[in-house]
Structures are given as structure tokens and as C-alpha cells.
Amino acid sequence: MRETQQTGTTLLDRLRPADDGGSAPPVRALRRRRWAVVALVAALLVAVPAVVAAWPVSPSVEMPPAQLRDRVAASDGVGWSGYAEASGGLNLPTVAQFSDVTSLLSGTSRLRAWYAAPDRSRVDQLYAGGERGRYVTPTGQAVWDYGAQLLTLVRRDPLVRLPRSDDLLPPQLARRLLSGTLPDDPVSGLAPRRIAGVDAPGFRVAVADPRTTVGALDVWADPTSGLPVAVEIRTKTAAGVLAPAPVVVSRFFELEQAAPDPAVLDAQAPPGAGTTRSPTSDLFGVLGRGNPAAVPATVDGVGRERPQRGFGAIGKYGTTLSQLVVVPLPPDLSGPLLDNIERAGRNGRTITVTAPERTNGRSANATAGALSSPLLQLAVVEVGDRAWAVGGLVPDDVLDRAVTDIARSVS
């Protein structure tokens, strides 16, 4: 600093060649020096996040883990805006009918989001060539597809649905998963972290339920507001041993805890863009609009929950993290799904099932296959001309028993 005051030089001045009496420096040398400046600036920018992450955490952020868990569960009224990234390590193969889900859980999602209330939010999933935005409003949803220049107004999705990008934001992910744990699941403290400018204490919920693949939920949150700023999901083996590394990680990199500008939450199609309407944006929402009797009353010893109005054909069994979901499938969808599962390699497996005898003494053909990962399982079962999809955060034995029960329910 003292040298700069005495000579009046700057960093750019020092990188310029000395005046040799008016002769111009070679063009190649100038280019090298310019790129040296660019490289230096780029290196400084890349180093900033690492420096911020290394800032010491205030020692005053300690909080009893059970109290922090309760504060997180009650944080849905906190407004915020920010940028988060969520990474899934499920390594699911691409299946055309569920490509959005498999890519979401097997890669990194970059999410810019604004949240005012459970029924007033927006999340933009960012891609290399554009974005896809989802707006949640008191009257439904709106989905903006930048590539197609199309705004789709959605009436509603079912409560039981396929995962989507906003489910992976730290606040939504933490609250949804915590709602599936039990009050007596052990809770312990984790070392605090500095995340997106927040000195965040953490806690771990060890999931005791043997019927789920989820072994532990690690959450870091603002101790004042309870807003989750980072979430990690760890699986467990059949013996109950916790995986050493998380299979899903979600965290903020930028965060402002304040109600966003209401104008940001209004979906408006730009000039020249198209607008359309849809009753639902979820595949389960389309398949679940049938007869409530299309799915069995009990699966793996768990009775069916009361179906949501308007989505009577969606079967939900249980309310914890071991919940199973069953929906009927049309033949033109179940066949290709089973073919894709068969081609999925080590991620796909065949489930042996036997359909019950019918009144004529003959059994219908029964076929079942499963798409498997350390966390999520999805199976398809066909019995004669009927078919179902069944899935959940459950191990192989639970899924296999569920598939067997569904096949036996066919009369």
C-alpha cells in the first residue's frame, strides 16, 4: 500500500512494459500480460468461496439439538431468497418415463429460489442453455419453460407425487424428511458450519425404522429463525450400519432471509411466448385420477391411508419415511418401463411373483422388476392385463413383499 502511494502505480501499471522511448511492445507480449491479469482475477474469484467457507464459526451458535430440530420443523413461515445446489448420488439409469426424476437424483441441480409462504414461492432450475421455473400460488402452479418459450398454468398436483426440483431446496427437503421421522428417533448435535453467511449449528436424526433405507438426516440451520441452510441424507445397510458419506447433499451458497419482492413471484409470459393450461404437472397426478379400488387395501402389512380427493387411485401406505406409494399403470406404460428396467444393468433386478389362481383354475401371467438405488426403490408389476408402480425409500425385502401383496390382490 505504501509503495502505491509513493509511486502512484497500480497492479495493471506493473504488468505493462516500461517506456523505452516510444517503441511499442510486441503484440504477443501484450496478449500474454492481458491473459495474466485475467488469470489472476479468475483465481481470486474462485478462491473467494473457499475463503468464506473457512471463516471461523461464532462460538455462540450452540443450541440443544432437539430444540433446533423443533425450530426447523416450524420454519415454513420464514421468507427468504437465495441460490442453492443439490447433488444426488443415486446413479439411477435414464428411464424415459421418469427422466426428470432420475436426472434430479443422480446429478447436481442448480437452483435460484424465492420463498414467501408455503403457497407463494418460485424456483428456477438453471441449465447451461436456459432455465425452467416453477411458481407456486394460492390457486395452483405455473411452469415456465425457457427453451420452449411456454408458460403452463397448472391447477394442482397430488400431495403424493414424484420428486421435483423445489423438493431439493434445503428448507423444503429438511422439513419434508423430518415430518417422516418419529419423536423418539435419537437426535444428536453436529459441529456448526458457516454456510451462506450463516453461523449454523447442526443436528443429526438417527432413523430407527428398519423398513426404510434412510439411516440419518443431518441438518444445519439458522439458530434464530430455524431456517435450514444445509441438509445431508445418509443411507444404512441391511445390518443398520450408517453409510460413511451422504447420498444426497443440499446447501445454500447465497441466502437472504427476508420476504422476496411479490413481483418476483408472479409468473408472466414474455411477449411472443405461448401459454397453456394443464390439470396437473405430475405423472402420478395423471395416473391417480381413477377408481380408489384400483389399488389394494393393505401392502406389506400396512393399511392404506385415506386417499386425497380427486386422486383416489393413488395408494399411500404409512406416514413415515418407510411409506410406500402404489399407482395403477396402463399397459402402454408398464411394458416399456419393464423393458427399461431389464436394460438397467446392475441398477435393475427381476422380482419373482406368482399371481393367485382365478375362478377358472388358471393363473394370469405375472412379471415384476425393480429399479434400485441405495436410497430409492421403484418397481413395476404386471398381472395379466393390469399393472402398477410401487416405490419408496425402502430396502429390497420391503419392496419385494409389497410387490407380492399387489400381485395377490388380483382376483
List, for residues 194-239, the tens digit of each pLDDT value. 999 999 999 999 999 999 999 999 999 999 999 999 999 999 987 8
Looking at residue 150, its pLDDT comes to 95
Whole-number percent of the chain with pLDDT over 90:
62
Backbone angles phi, psi at 224, to 5 degrees: -85, -50
Residue 84: C-alpha distances to residues 18, 114, 142 (Å) = 47, 11, 21
Among 34-38, 81-85, 283-287, which range has the highest average pLDDT? 81-85
Q: pTM value?
A: 0.83
Is the domain of 208 the same as that of 167? yes
Looking at residue 111, its pLDDT comes to 97
Instruction: Look at residue 5 and tell me if it is in a domain.
Output: no
Whether the CB-CB separation of 194 and 239 falls below 8 Å is answered with no
Length, in residues, of the chain = 411
Looking at residue 50, its pLDDT comes to 41
Q: What total number of domains does the chain contain?
A: 3
Given a cut of 80, whether residue 56 has pLDDT beyond it is no
- The CATH number linked to 365 is 3.40.1000
Q: Within 10 A of 209 (CB to CB), how many other CB atoms are there?
A: 17
Name the grid cell of 235: 443411507
Instruction: Look at residue 2 and tell me if it is in a domain.
Output: no
Cα separation, 172 vs 185, whole angstroms:
20
- The CATH number linked to 124 is 2.50.20.10
Cα separation, 195 vs 253, whole angstroms:
7
Given a cut of 60, whether residue 119 has pLDDT beyond it is yes
Instruction: Look at residue 314 and tell me if it is in a domain.
Output: yes
Given a cut of 60, whether residue 22 has pLDDT beyond it is no
pLDDT band at 64, cuts 50/70/90?
very high
Is the domain of 292 the same as that of 322? yes
Is the domain of 108 the same as that of 168? yes
pLDDT band at 52, cuts 50/70/90?
very low
Is the domain of 113 the same as that of 176? yes
Of 22-36, 95-109, 228-242, 280-294, the range with the lowest mean pLDDT is 22-36
Given a cut of 80, whether residue 301 has pLDDT beyond it is yes
Looking at residue 59, its pLDDT comes to 53
Cα separation, 94 vs 28, whole angstroms:
48
Is the domain of 44 the same as that of 85? no
Looking at residue 240, its pLDDT comes to 85
Residue 108: C-alpha distances to residues 96, 135, 250 (Å) = 19, 21, 9
Tell me how many degrees the CA angle 166-213-253 measures, rounded to the nearest 5.
Answer: 35
Looking at residue 303, its pLDDT comes to 97
Is the domain of 223 the same as that of 293? no
Given a cut of 60, whether residue 43 has pLDDT beyond it is no
Any residues with CB less than 8 A from the CB of 160 and at least 6 apart, and which? 284, 288, 308, 311, 314, 316, 325
Given a cut of 80, whether residue 58 has pLDDT beyond it is no
Looking at residue 97, its pLDDT comes to 63
363: Cα separation from own chain's centroid: 41
Looking at residue 398, its pLDDT comes to 96
Given a cut of 90, whether residue 128 has pLDDT beyond it is no
Instruction: Look at residue 251 and tell me if it is in a domain.
Output: yes
Looking at residue 197, its pLDDT comes to 96
Is the domain of 360 the same as that of 294? yes
Whole-number percent of the chain with pLDDT over 70:
81
Question: Which residue, of 249, 278, 307, is where some domain finishes?
Answer: 278
Which residues span the domain enclosing 377? 283-408
- Mapped to the 3 state alphabet, what secondary structure does the chain carry? CHHHHHHCCCHHHHHCCCCCCCCCCCHHHHHHHHHHHHHHHHHHHHHHHHHHHHCCCCHHHCCCHHHHHHHHHCCCCCCEEEEEEEEECCCCCCCHHHHHHHHHHHCEEEEEEEEEECCEEEEEEEECCEEEEEEEECCEEEEEECCCCEEEEECCCCCCCCCCHHHHCHHHHHHHHHCCCCCCCCEEEEEEEEECCEEEEEEEEECCCCCCCEEEEEEEECCCCCCEEEEEEEEECCCCCECCCCCEEEEEEEEECCCCCHHHHCCCCCCCCEEEEECCCCHHHHHCCCCHHHCCCEECCEEECCCCCCCCCCEEECCCCCCEEEEEECHHHHHHHHHHHHCCHHHEEECCCCCCECCCCCECCEEEEEEECCCCEEEEEEECCEEEEEEECCCHHHHHHHHHHHHHCCC
Q: Which residue has the cell 446429478?
A: 107
Looking at residue 149, its pLDDT comes to 94
Residue 294: C-alpha distances to residues 143, 322, 328, 407 (Å) = 30, 22, 7, 12
Is the domain of 311 the same as that of 199? no
Question: Which residue, of 211, 245, 278, is where some domain finishes?
Answer: 278
